[in-house]
Amino acid sequence: MGCDGGTIPKRHELVKGPKKVEKVDKDAELVAQWNYCTLSQEILRRPIVACELGRLYNKDAVIEFLLDKSAEKALGKATSHIRSMKSVTELKLSDNPAWEGDRGNTKGDKHDDLQRARFICPVVGLEMNGRHRFCFLRGCGCVFSERALKEIRAEVCHTCGAAFQEDDVIVLNGTKEDVEMLRKRMEERRLRAKQEKKTKKPKAAESVSKADALEDLPGPSKIKNGKPEDAGPEAREKRGAPAPWSTASSGVASGKAGKPPGGPQKRSIADSEESETYKSLFTTHSSAKRSKEESAHWVTHTSYCF
């Protein structure tokens, strides 16, 4: 079986040992994490969003996944925690002025520097290529390096000035320990939101019941004089009918006791100081009034039938 012609086989050719574990190239892994969408495996393009675990996505890919959650598009753990668009935050990224992209490689004979990144930290100026740790704020979506957070300690965002807490800081493409910590924070945040919803529901029911109880109570007009029996139908019958207009007007004219009518007094157009042309527009003017001969007939109700 072979070995003719004086060939001498070596040990590794005859003895088969265990297979070596293939190691993933770190540079290729960094390029895949920081330049490609975790969901669609396409190149990241704006608008770019990030989940609560620090993974980067194209916003279009997330919307398509939420509309069609089929087994083909779902990638297991990569998308199991994304329930709605509230689970992701749109990132505010700062462009790198030194990045040319495909503009400088029109002929295809130029070396692509994989360490050159599209975005940088707006505070320190570090490139977002995976060599340095970057994070974003869950409230406003601003992205900057972790070094900027440590060197410039503040409770306000360095770029937009929005207030934030330690729980709002999410590391982008962190290690396994970072992902586990972020997952715990995410679960605690969701439990807290559920408890707040449960407490709001009984409060809303109590407010509705109080409103119904207030409607059942007699109003202020019914118990104004401290006599609730005045509000019944019998009391209304006992009250006399309102005085006719003739008696009320005679009482006012004679100067007897009586309260003046409330509200603003009506002003006649005839007593105003406007011109006669303006007064003729109203029916109270003398030109608009008709004589008895010109008035409408009682059968036809037409002013032109006499």
The set of residues, in sequence order, having a beta carbon less than 8 Å from that of 126 and lying 6+ positions away, is 120, 132, 145, 147
Contact 27, 114 (CB under 8 A): yes
The set of residues, in sequence order, having a beta carbon less than 8 Å from that of 246 and lying 6+ positions away, is none
- State the Cα–Cα distance between residues 217 and 211, nearest whole angstrom: 10
- State the Cα–Cα distance between residues 161 and 137, nearest whole angstrom: 11
Sheet with 134-137: strands ordered across: 143-145, 134-137, 169-171
- State the Cα–Cα distance between residues 100 and 122, nearest whole angstrom: 18
- Per-position pLDDT tens, the chain of length 306: 556 667 788 887 888 878 777 777 777 888 888 999 988 889 999 999 999 999 999 999 999 988 887 655 555 666 788 888 999 999 999 998 888 776 655 565 665 666 678 899 999 889 998 889 999 999 899 998 999 988 888 888 888 888 888 888 999 999 999 999 999 999 999 999 888 888 887 766 666 666 665 565 555 544 444 444 444 555 455 454 444 444 444 444 444 444 455 555 666 766 777 777 777 777 776 766 666 666 655 555 555 554
What is the predicted pLDDT for the residue at 216?
Answer: 58
For 71-131, what is the HEC assignment? CCCCCHHHCCCCCCHHHEEECECEECCCCCCCCCCCCCCCCCCCCCCCEECCCCCCECCCC
What is the predicted pLDDT for the residue at 19?
Answer: 79
What is the predicted pLDDT for the residue at 250?
Answer: 45
Amino acid at 104: G
Distance of CA 237 to the CA centre of its chain: 58
The verdict on whether omega for the bond into residue 47 sits within 30 degrees of 0, i.e. cis, is yes
Which DSSP helix (H) or strand (E) runs through 56? strand 56-58
What's this model's pTM, rounded to 2 decimal places? 0.57
